[in-house]
Amino acid sequence: MMQARDVSYHYREGGEVLRGVTLNFAPGQLTAILGPNGAGKTTLLKLLAGSYKPSGGSVLLEGRPVTAMSERRRAQQIAVVSQRSHVDFAFTVTDVVLMGRQPYLSRYATESEHDIAVAREAMALTETQHLADRTVTQLSGGEWQRVVIARALCQQTPIMLLDEPVSSLDIKYQLEVLSMVRKLARDKAVTAVCVLHDINLAAHFADDIVLMHGGAVYSCGTPGDVLTPAAMSEVYGVEVDVEAQGGSVRVSPVYETARDYATLFS
């Protein structure tokens, strides 16, 4: 179990980014973090990862502060898929996926047969095994995202944190990547936490949603509980219609009429 207890964070210049964040993240579930730009979503993810140390409160993993762990130990517990991860050198896909085994290797050690088997399983789970010998500079955006997630899986961690993993992808790859993350969370009992901008993708794929507003948690719960017209109006400043769709909800903005737009340019 990963927990945030009354977490706050501010930059050295004094600007407060987060305040009073208390959350629990359960194994086997995908939690989406939503909110407008500047709400503190990415900062919260970095605090969960141990990249930032809270100004107040604590982030705990199995009751132990994440920042008290060594980098090696954290990498054995938490895999992070960054927003703009890339590799400039022409590594093969297998090379990149095997990078996920580094937390378990001693200095100068090479990967064992076990490490290679773990990498192969990660590529199979992410359907990237057919790309194994291809260089990463030849991959499409969707292929690269699946490879990055395969690398995270290769770490064999109980926690996976993803920062806007589908923001630059077209809708086909967005659906593929999020379907895969949700399946991995359920099948492998991984605690998956994902920062997203697309409200409807979050509503469809996430088990729980954390809605951020002004550096604090506005609400937390199931998509149906969190994504209400009142919440969307206060947090995003837009009117929306919310309709039930299957076991989730769909949020549709109330667009201005063409006449409204015409007055802007008259």
The 3-state secondary structure of the chain, one letter per residue: CEEEEEEEEECCCCCEEEEEEEEEECCCCEEEEECCCCCCHHHHHHHHHCCCCCCEEEEEECCEEHHHCCHHHHHHHEEEECCCCCCCCCCEHHHHHHHHHHHHCCCCCCCCHHHHHHHHHHHHHCCCHHHCCCEHHHCCHHHHHHHHHHHHHHCCCCEEEEECCCCCCCHHHHHHHHHHHHHHHHHHCCEEEEECCCHHHHHHHCCEEEEEECCEEEEEECHHHHCCHHHHHHHHCCCEEEEEECCEEEEEECCCCHHHHHHHCC
Would you give per-residue pLDDT tens digits along the chain (266 residues)?
899 999 999 987 768 899 999 999 999 999 999 999 989 999 999 999 999 999 999 999 988 999 999 999 999 999 999 866 667 788 999 999 999 999 999 888 888 999 999 999 999 988 899 999 999 988 888 888 889 989 999 999 999 999 998 887 888 888 988 998 999 899 989 999 999 999 999 999 999 999 999 999 999 999 999 999 999 999 998 899 999 887 789 999 887 644 555 555 55
What pLDDT score does 206 carry? Answer: 96
pLDDT at 262: 55
Say what the pLDDT of residue 62 is: 86
CATH number for region 2-264: 3.40.50.300
Looking at residue 257, its pLDDT comes to 45
